[in-house]
Amino acid sequence: MKTVRRKAGRKVICLDTTFLIDLWRNRNSYDHPTVALLEKYRSETFAVPSHAAGEFLEGGAIISESRLLEAIGFLRLFNIGAIGLETAEQYARIVSTLRRRSLLHGASKPDMWIAAWALEHGAALASRNEKHFKNVPGLRLIPY
**pLDDT class for 7, splitting at 50, 70, 90?**
low
* Amino acid letter, residue 67: R
Report which DSSP code applies to 48. Answer: E
Is residue 119 included in any domain, yes or no? yes
Q: What's the rounded Cα separation, in Å, for the pair 6 and 54? A: 23
Count of domains observed in the chain: 1
The confidence score (pLDDT) of residue 106 equals 79
pTM check: above 0.75: yes
In this model, does residue 9 exceed pLDDT 70?
A: no
Q: What is the pLDDT of residue 1?
A: 43
Q: What is the mean pLDDT of residues 58-76?
A: 97
Ordered strands of the 45-49 beta sheet? 79-81, 45-49, 12-15, 124-126, 141-142
Packing angle of the helix pair 17-25, 33-40 (nearest 10 deg): 110
Are 140 and 124 a contacting pair, CB within 8 Å? yes
Residues 85-132 pLDDT 10s: 999 999 999 999 999 999 998 788 999 999 999 999 999 999 999 999
Enclosing domain of residue 121 = 12-142
Asked whether residue 85 is domain-assigned, the answer is yes
CATH number at 22 reads: 3.40.50.1010
Q: Is residue 1 part of a domain?
A: no
Is 2 a member of any domain?
A: no
